[in-house]
Amino acid sequence: MSALEIRSIHKRYGEVETLKGIDIALDSGEFLVLLGSSGCGKSTLLNIIAGLAEPSGGDILIGERSVLGVHPKDRDIAMVFQSYALYPNMSVARNIGFGLEMRKVPPAEREKAVRETAKLLQIENLLERKPSQLSGGQRQRVAIGRALVRNPQVFLFDEPLSNLDAKLRMEMRTELKRLHQMLKTTIVYVTHDQIEAMTLATRIAVMRDGRIEQLGTPEEIYDRPETLYVAGFVGSPPMNILDAEVTGRGLKLDGCEEILPLPASFKSAAAGRPVKVGIRPEVLRLAADSPGPRLMARVEVVELTGPELVTTAIVGKQRIIASLPPRTALSMGSTHAFTFDEAALHLFDPGSGRSLRAA
C-alpha cells in the first residue's frame, strides 16, 4: 500500500509556475529525499504535502485518501522545520506534547508518550528546560521529538540539518538514519545537500525548475544519472564532463587527439555525433602498468584533503579532476597517464542533456 501518493502536482504563483507536474508514489517505510538547489520547488512540494500551501492542480493522497482541502492537523503528518520552530515560551516537555495537548490526549497518557520519545532521543534530562537554554543539536532533537510523539503516517523534514555545524550535522544524520531503521516510518525529506540525500534516502527525487529530473535509489542516481544535471549535482567533487565526438575508433575528446573507448552500453551512439562524456573523479587512477584505457593529462593543481588527493589536470583544453590516493607521487606540470574502468563512463546528448545509455 502506498503511504503517500503525489499525483501531477502543479503550483502557480501568478505567472510563475514553480511546480510543473510532480508524480511520486511512496511505499510505507520509505525515506524519500527531495534533492535540488534553492528555487527548484522542493520546499513548495513539501508544504503542499503538509497542507501549508494548496496546489494549483493535481492531488495528494495520504494512506489512499485524498487530502486536498484537508486541514494540516487532519492529514496525519508531522513536520520538522529548518528553524526547529520550537515554541519559545514552553518547556521542552510541553513543546513535544503540544500536538497531543491540542488533540485533547489525557495528561497522563501525554506525559508517558513525551517521556518515551525523550528517552528515544536521549533528551530526558532536558524536559524542564526552555528552548533558549538548549544548543542547536538539542533543539533539533526536540523538534524531531515533537514530530515522533504523534506517530503520524508521514514525516516531513524541511532541511532539518542545515542550521547545524558540520560535525553535528553528521551526528544527527546518523541519528536520523538510526531512527528510521528502528521505527520504519515513512519520511519525505527536503535538502540541497547531496551527501544527506545519498546517505539517508531509500529513494531520491532530484528536482530542477519544478520538475523531477530523476527519481531512483541512491545507487541508481549515482551510478546511472539520466541527465547531465543529475550527474553534476550528485557526487563531490562533481563528475567531470568533457566534450567529445563519437568516431569509428571510439570517443575523440575535443581539442586533443585523445581517444576513449566507447562503452558497450552506449554502442548505439551514431558515429560523428557530438557528445558529453562524464567520468567521476573517483574512478580515475594513475595508469602505472595496469591494463585498460589511457588518458594523458597534464597535472595543474593538487589539493590534499586528508583522505584523498584532489588533482586538477588538463586534457587538451579541457579540465579534469581526479580523486587519487593521498600518497600518489605526482610532479606538477608534467603529463601523467590516467586510467579508468570503461564501464564507468557516461555519455550524454549535449542538446537535451539526457543520457545516451541504451535502455
Positions in the binding site for other proteins (CB under 8 A): 50-52, 71-73, 77-79, 81-90, 98-99, 102-103, 146
For 108, the 3-state DSSP assignment is helix
User: What are the backbone angles phi and psi of residue 128, rounded to the nearest 5°?
Assistant: -90, -10
Shortest distance in whole angstroms from residue 275 CB to other proteins: 45
Q: Residue 32 or 149: which CB sits closer to other proteins? A: 149
Q: Residue 158 or 213: which CB sits closer to other proteins? A: 158
For residue 219, what is its C-alpha cell? 545507487
Q: Residue 156 or 172: which CB sits closer to other proteins? A: 156
Q: Residue 84 or 348: which CB sits closer to other proteins? A: 84
Exposed / middle / buried, residue 74 (Cβ in 10 Å: 0-12, 13-18, 19+): exposed
Report the amino acid identity of residue 237. Answer: P
Shortest distance in whole angstroms from residue 241 CB to other proteins: 38
For the four alpha carbons of 290, 295, 300 and 306, in that order, the dihedral sign comes to: negative
Spatial CA neighbour of 185 closest among 26, 24, 348, 15: 26
Shortest distance in whole angstroms from residue 335 CB to other proteins: 54
Exposed / middle / buried, residue 191 (Cβ in 10 Å: 0-12, 13-18, 19+): buried
Shortest distance in whole angstroms from residue 5 CB to other proteins: 20
Shortest distance in whole angstroms from residue 81 CB to other proteins: 4
Q: Residue 83 or 268: which CB sits closer to other proteins? A: 83
Cβ(242)–Cβ(315) below 8 Å: yes
Q: Residue 67 or 228: which CB sits closer to other proteins? A: 67
Shortest distance in whole angstroms from residue 90 CB to other proteins: 7
Q: Residue 72 or 136: which CB sits closer to other proteins? A: 72
For residue 265, what is its C-alpha cell? 552500453
State the Cα–Cα distance between residues 331 and 23, nearest whole angstrom.
51
Render 116-169 in DSSP notation, one character per residue.
HHHHHTT-GGGTTS-GGGS-HHHHHHHHHHHHHTT--SEEEEESTTTTS-HHHH
Shortest distance in whole angstroms from residue 162 CB to other proteins: 13
For residue 284, what is its C-alpha cell? 580515475
For residue 250, what is its C-alpha cell? 571510439
For the four alpha carbons of 159, 160, 164 and 165, in that order, the dihedral sign comes to: negative
